[in-house]
Structure 1
């Protein structure tokens, strides 16, 4: 099982699942009341990510959506759990990227908005199994 793409071209693979990518925001953040949030709306923001899964994969996705360094938000990596990242967001220290399955453990003062691009909702594909 691997995350992302398989390193060998002749390998057959099957994705195990796919989830929507959301942005977690403080309830009073300007983007929290928007009907649609696009990747480009993250410009000028501070994105807090955990060193633990899926932090690195979400960072790769962010970089792939906003290729030019000038339009990317500032990324801060922290050696803490995703729960602590949510606490930092609630203290207005930044925003974060989360997967749809991560919103079950919600803090009352956070808002989750779906991230979209030109093709619609952004999705994170699971690890793949291959042979």
Structure 2
């Protein structure tokens, strides 16, 4: 097959949604766990599609990059929105409290957020667009206090390691309860705070190739790709 025939074949495949490049942005431990499964499935189902991955992209920045058409597909959490960005629910999670195992509140079955008023917290940086950081601030504010953040870290697993080391407590996602380093415990909040995990794309993006990968992601999430509880 000469170069002209090859180009025509690739164009036909792209028209069917079987070939092309899809730029996918993600961040956070929840999505890091399912990306290998998505990539494996895409390579098997659509060998002509190249996934270009951008990691360490937390929710707020993912919304920005999809809105600006810098990536085709992003992962994030609600609340969050940008003009022209559509979302599809992948999983319902909730916030849990992460505590050092020897913390006095660790003996409780569930924790009232108001009982964390005098605690020090570890959290993602405010500048990184973290939905978890925003939810921490909002939940504490609704309970009548401003959380005192004494140390920041760019990812959830590092934050949980800091909790295990006794640096502070934090609110994190229920999907992270699989991570159990020595010295760390998780407890539910008395009043559950739900968190919706979503996949996002721009409504003006009509690429069949992008929508092929979107359908694959939604199917993978529906078959256990995202875990909302300890597994």
The TM-score with structure 1 as length reference comes to 0.75
Q: Residues 93 and 55 from structure 1, CA distance in 2 versus in 1: closer, same or farther, beyond 3 angstroms?
A: farther
Residue 29 of structure 1 pairs with residue 103 of structure 2: yes
Unaligned residue ranges in structure 1 (runs of 5+) = none
Unaligned residue ranges in structure 2 (runs of 5+) = 1-73, 204-231
Structure with the greater relative contact order (CA < 8 A, sep ≥ 6): 1 or 2? 1
Q: Which has the higher helix share?
A: 2
CA deviations 1:41-77 (Å, max 9, x no partner) are 211111111349x982122112222326961221235
Deviation at 1:79, TM superposition (A): 3.6
Residue 44 of structure 1 pairs with residue 118 of structure 2: yes
Q: CA RMSD in A?
A: 2.9
Q: Which has the higher strand share?
A: 1
Pick the aligned partner of 2:179 from 97, 102, 105: 105
Structure with higher Rg: it is: 2
Check whether the contact 2:137–2:147 (CA below 8 A) recurs between aligned residues. no
* 1:20 paired residue number: 94
Q: Residues 3 and 89 from structure 1, CA distance in 2 versus in 1: closer, same or farther, beyond 3 angstroms?
A: closer
User: How many equivalent residue pairs?
Assistant: 126
The TM-score with structure 2 as length reference comes to 0.46
Pick the aligned partner of 2:157 from 83, 91, 115: 83
